[in-house]
Structure 1
Amino acid sequence: MEVTYAPNGPARLYAFLLRLRPLQQGTLMPFSGELVHGAFLRWLGAAAPDVGVWLHEGQKRRLFTCSSLHFSEPMQPHLRAERENIHLPLDPDKTYTLRLTLLLGELFPLFHKALVRFTLAETKGSHPPFMQFGKQLFLLEEVLLTQDEPTGWTGFTSLGSLVEQAQQTHFGSNASLTLEFASLTTFNRGSIKRGYGSYPLMLPLPEFVFPNLLRRWEDVAPAELTHLVQRERLEHSLQEDGVIIVDYDLKPHHVHFTTHLQRGFLGTCTYQLRGPWEKTTAEAPLTIRQQLYLLAQLAFYSGVGYKTAMGLGQVRLRV
């Protein structure tokens, strides 16, 4: 059966937090993005099998992102646990958080359908586990989808709203954007077929960050919006050093997947937007600065870089 789901529905974006409670004591890898990714596809596939298969096999451009399971550990000990792959304890008296984003409008009703189905099973007294990561079973405690959640990692919008915000934002000659790379981020460079093979890029250079976000935009934007971010103009601006790094607080980091160690970086990076002042026209409704701002906003939902569907590249624009 051919799956007809494609990015032609409502151009809406969603970012959820799910609070989960383990059924029993145990341990889990400190970085579990790979496990969360698999569990989410299995869970969604139970509600809509064709969609689960399509997302996993038929569509290389991911239309969702998953975080690793968040423990309440202080940041530095948790980063050490990730680097050394020290499994962390799970306590049934505590809740743990994961973040999901959806970049395809049709996925939201399927997500809602799966939640309702799960809730109905609970009300009938069966209390089925919500998700399984490795050998660990979790119950669903809460779903958060608000614009004012204290951590600032939830929200919902439309691509049209992002465009309107960009149009209403005016930048001076020394404008800048600061991105926070909250989970390990990297870009896979090189090729296993030539030279010395592929390698992870350890810095968020603008010539990698913004073209990556441009591809995400082209993946999810409907035809009437795609042209608003203009590839040739954006690439020319980057080639002419129209975006440069002027400040950063970055650190190298690595996490362990089930089969390999993954290197990358964490922290914040500030980009100065340079170049001549531009007027908008019918052919170019957004200036280059506005296009860059639009892409930086999209990053909150799309993530940036490599393996965003497995916990990497969780990014947001610092205001």
Structure 2
Amino acid sequence: LILNLLPQSPIPLQFLTGRHFHALFLNLVSSVDRELGDYLHEAKADKPFTLSPLQIVRRGAPPCAPTNHNHILQAEHTKPIAAGTPCWWRISLLDDTLFSQLTQLWLNLNPNRPWHLGPADLLITSILGTPQSPQPWANAISYAQLYEQSSDSDRQLDFCFCTPTAFRQKQHDCALPTRDLVFNSLIKRWNQYSGIELPKTILDSIFPSFFNIHTELVTDSRSKFIGCVGAMSFRLLGNVEPLVIKQINALANFALYSGVGRKTTMGMGMVRRLNHQ
């Protein structure tokens, strides 16, 4: 889902962090279903949603215009966002039951009711749930459809890490997106929510073939995180059955919704699969 937002008053810099967007999402959920909001707030394990950082719509540019050819999104802001600045914000829902429970949120949205991000009032001007030509981050599909539509012959997997991406390894973070870290993150979430179990052995034929990545720092009031952004490609090598190719392509296509790595509920780990043609 893409929420198009219009701040009615300036958004101070200290409220433009993942923690505050996380709180705003829980407030939106609680406005429709208080029990669901409390449940999501208290859930300690993997949470069935991801959030983007707030994106400013640049004058004269389409709403999703990337900052460069790699589709990199703005993960941090260096100054407050002025009143009247059009923005967009993405929410992805990984659990089909969660999607249906929140349908009331966008069906009954009051366009005149302000939401609060710190001291700032935000109006939600529209919500997009299907792909639009200037906004490719909106989409909706069932897991069964996503699986069925995935290719059983495409061996090229091109990704863009659009917001800083990092992975937890034991007690520490790792910003280097190895095959195992990227695809284990995807397969874990896929198996948790899809109802279509995939074996981890399918990852054995995946090898990195290209990367153009660098690290970026994400800060909030309590901590700093190092993540990677940029483009990376993987290729399927050797004798791989069409069924396995299909399963791996389904995982690669799933990345658009699930993200990868840590803190995807606070704006990190947003990933797109790119068309290698």
Q: Which bin holds the TM-score, normalised by the shorter protein?
A: 0.7 to 0.9
Q: Which residue of 2 aligns with 1:3?
A: none
Which residue among 273, 297, 302 is the counterpart of 2:236? 273
Per-residue deviation, 1:31: 5.1
Which residue among 224, 234, 240 is the counterpart of 2:202? 234
**Where does the alignment leave 5 or more consecutive residues of structure 1 unmatched?**
1-15, 192-197, 281-285
Alignment of 1:44-193 (within 5 A): 44-58=29-43, 60-72=45-57, 75=67, 82=76, 86=78, 88-119=79-110, 122=111, 127-129=112-114, 131-166=115-150, 168-171=151-154, 175-191=155-171
**TM-score, scaled to structure 1:** 0.76
SS in 2 for 1:207: helix
**C-alpha spacing 1:30/1:70, structure 2 compared with 1 (3 Å):** farther
Q: Which residue of 1 aligns with 2:258?
A: 302
**Where does the alignment leave 5 or more consecutive residues of structure 2 unmatched?**
59-65
Counterpart Cα distance in 2 of 1:211 and 1:302 = 12
Aligned pairs, how many?
A: 265
CA contact 1:248–1:268 (8 Å) conserved in 2: yes
Summarize deviations over 1:134-193 as a string: whole Å, max 9, x none: 222201111112223423111111111111122x4313xxx32111111111102232xx
Q: Which residue of 1 aligns with 2:215?
A: 252
Q: Which residue of 2 aligns with 1:6?
A: none
**C-alpha spacing 1:80/1:297, structure 2 compared with 1 (3 Å):** closer
Does 2:203 correspond to 1:214? no
**C-alpha spacing 1:186/1:31, structure 2 compared with 1 (3 Å):** farther
Letter in 1 for 2:224: L
Does 2:267 correspond to 1:311? yes
**TM-score, scaled to structure 2:** 0.87
User: What is the percentage of aligned positions where both structures have the same residue?
Assistant: 27
| Structure number with larger C-alpha Rg | 1
SS in 2 for 1:106: helix
CA contact 1:212–1:305 (8 Å) conserved in 2: yes
Counterpart Cα distance in 1 of 2:73 and 2:93 = 27
Counterpart Cα distance in 2 of 1:206 and 1:30 = 34
The answer to which of 144-153 and 262-271 deviates more is 144-153
SS in 1 for 2:228: strand
Letter in 2 for 1:208: L
Counterpart Cα distance in 1 of 2:125 and 2:105 = 15
SS in 2 for 1:40: helix
Provide the alpha-carbon RMSD of the alignment.
2.3
SS in 1 for 2:124: strand
Summarize deviations over 1:60-82 as a string: whole Å, max 9, x none: 12111111111246848x99993
CA contact 1:20–1:140 (8 Å) conserved in 2: yes
